[in-house]
Amino acid sequence: MLKPRFLIPVAAAFAFLGLALFIASGRSFAFDRSLVLLFRESDDLSMPLGPAWFREAMRDVTALGSFVGLGMMTIAASLTLWLCRYRHLSIGLAITVISATLVSTGLKILIGRDRPDIVEHAALTFTASFPSGHAFLSAVTMLSIAGFIGLASHRDDIARLCIWLAWVMIVLIGVSRVYLGVHWPTDVIGGWCLGIAWSSLAVALLGRKMAAADPPDAGPGA
């Protein structure tokens, strides 16, 4: 029987595949529309719920999942691993995020789902809707950073802390995309599913291989 750490990414991969095929066929989910409208003022669909400061805070949160935000996180984590002499892990992390970015762009072009058109977008958009690049790439980047740091630290408590912190940010970023009206909920769910599968595969295969290649005395005190 598959253990949860294997079962979850496998289930996530199949969930993404099912969503992608369903959406690529031109069909949609009724709850997509309902949830997008849930975040809007009933008497003015152009206005997201909440005061102005909250709307601005959600834009700040969504910016963390942008190419710039995630790119800075990846650079910081990769350089930290490199300076701590975990150079193979550093390269592995960079490969994981860069390859995911290319795949995200390719999937958007291939599937070509339109962005929500029932509300006014509260943030700029430049690409197709499915999967959500913010959701997918934030999951890949943050879960991979957590996993690679866990491998470098050899401590389960540090790995768990990083994973919990990563998931808080991943969920907030995903919700912000729906709140701002730039993604359907299934775009975000699909991005999360693919991100879980991608990061799990990267940590289990590439990460462990790279960790084994780094010197046994690597670390900040070496």
Q: CA 188 to CA 129: how far, in whole Å?
A: 9
* Residue 134 a catalytic site member: yes
Token pair of 130, please?
A: 């499915």
Q: By three-state DSSP, how is residue 45 classified?
A: strand
Active site residue 183: yes
What's the CA gap between 202 and 142, in Å, rounded? Answer: 12
**List of residues 6+ apart from 106 with CB closer than 8 A:** none
**Residues 6+ positions from 184 with CB-CB distance below 8 Å:** 28, 29, 32, 36, 113, 116, 129, 130, 178
* Contact yes or no for 20/107 (Cβ under 8 A): yes
DSSP class of 11: H
> What is the three-class DSSP state of 47?
strand
Distance CA 167, CA 69 (A): 16
Question: Which ranges of 154-207 does DSSP label H, i.e. alpha helix?
Answer: 156-179, 185-201
| R_g over Cα of the chain | 18
Residues assigned a catalytic role? 134, 183
